[in-house]
Chain A
Amino acid sequence: MFDFREKPGQLIDAHGQDTERKGFFTDTSICIGCKACEVACKEWNQVPMEGNLELLESSYDNTGGLGANTWRHVAFIEQDEEQIEKARDSGQKLISLGMPSIGAPETREKDTAKHIGMPEFGSPGTRIKEKVDNPPNPDTPEFRWLMSSDVCKHCTFAGCLDVCPTGALYRTEYGTVVVQDDICNGCGTCVAGCPFGVIERRDTGTIHTKPDRVDSRYAMDVKHEGTANKCTLCYDRLVDDQVPACAQTCPTTSIKFGNQSEMVESAVERVTTMHAQGSTEARLYGANTNDGVGGIGSVFLLLDEPEVYGLPPDPQVPTKDLPQMYKKVGIAAAGMLAAAATAFVGARKK
């Protein structure tokens, strides 16, 4: 498998210039749930609307999750005091253990560094600014409403890219993962390859809602039907030195965009500050290069366990074990060959 992290020279733009890996830092602690990111993304990328124009029955969320037609998605989670306390404790525990609570508890302690969503958090000589033993108790609310804008993770080890048989998915000069819609044949292999459930095939669908109907004045020209679709990190904006549409429109800078390494750096800084202020529920997601996808291009600061936001706690790229599998396949094949050869040899002997 190609590990572009070790070959920074691979990030070269069309003019032969070295580029840096780009990414997001989505700080959900200052998200106001305005969904401007969802709309700006759709406007810029001409993504069609989705849904049947009925309430989704999920607080203020009516688009459900990431998919072919939603490349930024804002989740709304209503929680009571008990859940807030739990989140605060679990976040605090991340520090005490020097690791985040990702993966099943029993596996955590053995293999700390590898499963964490936070970079070397709390371990010696690392980027944690200062550890607070007795953080101040903030004005604990009885209730909270979490909002978080989700997006394609642009993984270091991207399952979708690994499994794509046509080469439609590729790694750009910005370290992002993009589908070339004119090459994609719509096979859908990538859909199963993504551990986050992000990429999806844009179907024509069987239910025609009001805006879908041919005679509707709201009918939209739907592009790329039948091919795989997902966030491009606004590739077409990056080549013009522009910020991706979602980050550009975010009024509170909850979505930040920049060099991925700087994004991780500011994420670490932010989570440190929040812990110092007593908001021990804060934790990072996807900032650790040793996790199951080699870290992600769009890191998050969350205020509860990833599952609460519908994010997998321990994402694993399905192609992670490919090298070993190939090796085993090789050995098996060699064994079979040997067996076959032996058989022939044996036959001859007869």
Chain B
Amino acid sequence: MANADLIVIQGSNMAECHPVGFQWVTEAKQRGAKVIHVDPRFTRTSAVADKHITIRAGSDIVLLGALINHMIENELWFKEYVTHYTNAAHLISEGYSGPEDLDGLFSGYDDDLQGYNNETWQYEKDPEAADGIAKDMTLQHPRSVFQILKRHYSRYTPEAVEDMAGISQKDFKYLADAFAENSTRDKTTCVAYALGWTQHSMGSQFIRTAAILQLLMGNMGRPGGGIMALRGHATIQGSTDIPTLFNLLPGYLPFPVAGKHDTLQDYFDEAFPQDQKGFWHNGNAYMISLLKAWFGDAATAENDYAYHYLPRLTGAHGTYQTLMRMFDKGVDGYFVLGQNPAVGSANGRMQRMGMANLKWMVVRDFQQIETATWWRDGPEIQTGELKTEEIDTEVFFMPAANHTEKAGTFTQTQRLVQWRHQAVTPPGDARSELEFFHELGKRLRERLKDSTDPRDRPLLDMTWDYPVDEHGEPDAEAVMKEINGYYTSGPDAGKPLDNFNQMKPDGSTAGGCWIYTGVYAGGVNRAALRVPGDKQDEMANKWAWAWPANRRILYNRASADPEGKPWSERKKLIWWDEDETKWVGNDTPDFPIDRAPNAKTQKGIFGPDALAGDDPFIMQTDGKGWLFAPMGMKDGPLPTHYEPAESPVSNSLYPQQESPSRLLITAEGNQLAPASGNPGSEVFPHVFTTYRLTEHHTAGGMSRFLPYLSELQPEMFCEVSEELAEEFGLEPYGWATIISPRGAIEARVLVTQRMKPVRAGGKTIHQIGLPYHWGVGKEALITGDGANDLLGMTLDPNVFIQSAKAVACAIQPGRRPRGEALVEFVNDYRDRAGITPMTGQSRLTYERDPETMKIAEPPTLSEPEHHEGDKLV
């Protein structure tokens, strides 16, 4: 980021939520970069940016789509980069049609699938082409990705931005000009986002839009370019690499599905097709090495490396689906580690009510967080909805060691794996997660040691032999060695692997996470390397270790032109050395090291060997950056603007209000407000957005129990504009009650010019800010109502994340009712809006012809509203 010429921060409050990483934004600024912050609120990030642009929450695709349109219309895109490095020239199958043709839908919509079948989104085949894909290198073919893209975004105009995103044409021009000026051979633009983009029912598509823009402008794989996904906590990146997600195995290998992947071969056939380019071709070796790491000698060629020991997915098992199963008594026990769902997860009331259906739960934390105490002092005890003596859930609280009390690694935003040494031993009964699970595994195995039940074999056969110190703490480095991988046989047996290319699909290697291979190369803990910045070059390759293969910038082949020369001296990173006939430079090349820039794909050759010299995106099946995504996205191959659930604004771009493939959870307690245009929508006219403050940590488990942090932000508050305060009689620093169809909370009122109402869809929309750190309980030093009690569970169909950034609400002055009266108060609001559990649950806004999928009688879309004074001159 320090190398960027322009940094656009959108969907992130980086200075507040990633203050340490923000040093690189400060550094870039001091080197002359411009920083633009696009956000519904003026935050501490805006305060140090060159420019803050207020956006209506949830309208990001309108703005980014308009930037794409602007760049194409004005010929500002990076032609050489786009033609060679993206799939712009690829042709899409004849069956494809998009929202322009289908009144806001893509082809393949199927109500039974609750989404799309992507058959028609595929590339057109060309048996003559070496890679089998039909192309038009002039980008003129109407079915070329470029032309489809151009047509798709043609309605995303500055006028549409003004009308839907509430951004003046003057501000749009400022952003577009800055973006274009700083995306050239000589300059790069970096986009940074965080949960302001992910926590929407279309969050993945927000990010995709930015990816398209960055590819069009030639900013990917280059110094100071790219998209910075600002990950939360210390090792959220690590917890997706070695996942705490239900649908992934370590290293982003897909999780096997029951009935579909019964044998290892079934799994390989679907997960790693052998007739495509790129490194996923070698997925077999990564998977078999993983099975060897987990099951050791019990994993043999004869038994498919114990593949049958792995559980199979029978559906979605995300946190919200698991919660809903609790209500069906489908979940007996629940482990809660490093999380405080009673405060931190969407729809807090349902989270707590759900846990009351468990037989037992284990909470491991530093303090008795609200998730450990809801059964005696949670909000539902106060309202009488739960009675302590009637709750059967047995709650076990186990004190946890903190980060200074245990060794291990954190993997941060830049994929840097950094070692953490143990400073002190944990106090009292506190233990590390490593010790807890190692011990739990040991005890379970001991209990089962005489079992003949085949279902116990996986547990008994797994490798579980980590050495422990005198306190019983397993050696974290031994775990790292297993993750790194090692030879299981042959002359090097036991020796750590140096890189993932050494992994073999024959059981001769083991490795717990292929992308981490190399972190322990040569038996050296490379995560613990700490050569100071002034003792090495700017890439700082000797500070910790980045996956994969210590590459600091992914897809860095794109930092050089198709001939292998840097795009410019100023932005050079790696290049092709004619004399040495290999890629050289300041970073580890993210490309086959000896693949010449002019190398062509050969027919009948697949995998990494098939990558042409101008295929920088080595993980993609065609080696190209995807402007159009033939697969991988459940809700469409091109990002399209739909309104968030329960939006007070009507979608003026398409006659389809909400994303038809959003994931809905239909349940009492998870009711939605009527969307704009429906009766009752006026009851919840405002939009609130939830967020964090620098002073607190997520649901407060690590901050509301600490005096030094509590005193800095002691009370729950809401941030409102002067206009909203005036209109609804909200007193500065007085109390307000915020109501959604799920609940009502109270907060102190911060009236500030940092909040501004926006004009969108012909209406004035008030946006209310709600930090979500507080929770109701008796243990924390500071307590307060939890903003997440207002959230519903409407999810992104790709990643199952909740929509938390643009939610409908009402506000009134004063404190909320107490006890039972609170339930009645919320019921009353729901009744006034005529809400039932089915409100907002229909996927298609209008009835459509089942054959053509077109709307029989399309409505007239409202004309964009123009604002006097903001016009372009």
B710 within 8 A of A: yes
Q: Are B707 and A34 in contact (CB under 8 A)?
A: no
Chain A residues within 8 Å of B45, by CB = 32
Q: Which of B50, B714, B752 contacts A51 (CB 8 A)?
A: B714
Chain B residues within 8 Å of A49, by CB = 707-708, 710-711
A145 within 8 A of B: yes
The 9 closest A-B CB pairs, nearest first, are A49-B707, A145-B47, A32-B15, A53-B714, A252-B26, A34-B19, A57-B733, A34-B694, A251-B19
CB distance from B579 to the nearest CB of A (A): 42
Q: Which of B44, B710, B714 contacts A145 (CB 8 A)?
A: B44
Q: Which of A32, A55, A143, A146 contacts B42 (CB 8 A)?
A: A143
- List the interface of chain B (C-beta within 8 A of A): 15-16, 19-20, 22-23, 26, 29-30, 42, 44-48, 50-52, 174, 693-695, 707-715, 717, 732-733, 748, 750, 752-754, 781-782
Q: In the complex, what residue of chain B is closest to A32 when comparing beta carbons?
A: B15
In A153-200, the 8 Å CB interface with B consists of none
CB distance from B323 to the nearest CB of A (A): 31
A78 within 8 A of B: yes
A106 within 8 A of B: no
A43 within 8 A of B: yes
A227 within 8 A of B: no
A108 within 8 A of B: no
Q: Which of A62, A78, A210, A211 contacts B712 (CB 8 A)?
A: A62
When A32-B22, A42-B708, A78-B754 are in contact, do A147 and B717 touch as well, CB less than 8 Å?
Answer: no
Assembled-state Cα–Cα distance A218/B780 (Å):
9
Q: Which of A42, A53, A141, A146 contacts B51 (CB 8 A)?
A: A141
CB distance from B129 to the nearest CB of A (A): 49
Q: Are A54 and B715 in contact (CB under 8 A)?
A: yes
Q: In the complex, what residue of chain B is closest to A144 when comparing beta carbons?
A: B47
Assembled-state Cα–Cα distance A80/B753 (Å):
8
CB distance from A224 to the nearest CB of B (A): 17
Q: Are B711 and A53 in contact (CB under 8 A)?
A: yes
A30 within 8 A of B: yes
Chain B residues within 8 Å of A33, by CB = 15, 44, 47, 694
Q: Are A34 and B51 in contact (CB under 8 A)?
A: no
Q: Are A35 and B714 in contact (CB under 8 A)?
A: no
Q: Which of A57, A62, A147, A252 contacts B713 (CB 8 A)?
A: A62
Q: Are A38 and B712 in contact (CB under 8 A)?
A: yes
- List the interface of chain A (C-beta within 8 A of B): 29-36, 38-39, 42-43, 48-51, 53-55, 57, 59-60, 62-63, 78, 80, 138-139, 141, 143-147, 210-211, 218, 220, 251-253
CB distance from A77 to the nearest CB of B (A): 10
Q: Are B20 and A78 in contact (CB under 8 A)?
A: no
CB distance from A65 to the nearest CB of B (A): 14
CB distance from A32 to the nearest CB of B (A): 4
Q: Are A55 and B748 in contact (CB under 8 A)?
A: yes
Assembled-state Cα–Cα distance A177/B712 (Å):
27
Q: Which of A30, A38, A42, A53 contacts B782 (CB 8 A)?
A: A53
Assembled-state Cα–Cα distance A57/B732 (Å):
8
Chain B residues within 8 Å of A211, by CB = 707, 781
Assembled-state Cα–Cα distance A42/B706 (Å):
12
CB distance from A308 to the nearest CB of B (A): 15
When A32-B19, A57-B732 are in contact, do A218 and B707 touch as well, CB less than 8 Å?
Answer: yes
Q: Are A35 and B782 in contact (CB under 8 A)?
A: no
Q: Are A39 and B781 in contact (CB under 8 A)?
A: no
Q: In the complex, what residue of chain B is closest to A51 when comparing beta carbons?
A: B711
When A33-B47, A147-B47, A253-B26 are in contact, do A55 and B707 touch as well, CB less than 8 Å?
Answer: no
Q: Are B42 and A34 in contact (CB under 8 A)?
A: no
CB distance from B494 to the nearest CB of A (A): 42
Chain B residues within 8 Å of A147, by CB = 44, 47
CB distance from A40 to the nearest CB of B (A): 9
Chain B residues within 8 Å of A253, by CB = 23, 26
Q: Are A251 and B708 in contact (CB under 8 A)?
A: no
Q: Are B711 and A30 in contact (CB under 8 A)?
A: no
Q: Are B51 and A139 in contact (CB under 8 A)?
A: yes
Assembled-state Cα–Cα distance A252/B23 (Å):
5
Chain A residues within 8 Å of B47, by CB = 32-33, 144-147
Q: In the complex, what residue of chain A is closest to B749 when comparing beta carbons?
A: A55
Assembled-state Cα–Cα distance A33/B16 (Å):
8
When A55-B717, A78-B752 are in contact, do A35 and B694 touch as well, CB less than 8 Å?
Answer: yes
Assembled-state Cα–Cα distance A35/B710 (Å):
12
CB distance from B116 to the nearest CB of A (A): 42
CB distance from B700 to the nearest CB of A (A): 14
A sample of 8 more A-B contacts (CB under 8 A), given A50-B711, A53-B710, is A31-B48, A33-B15, A34-B19, A60-B693, A62-B712, A138-B50, A139-B50, A210-B781
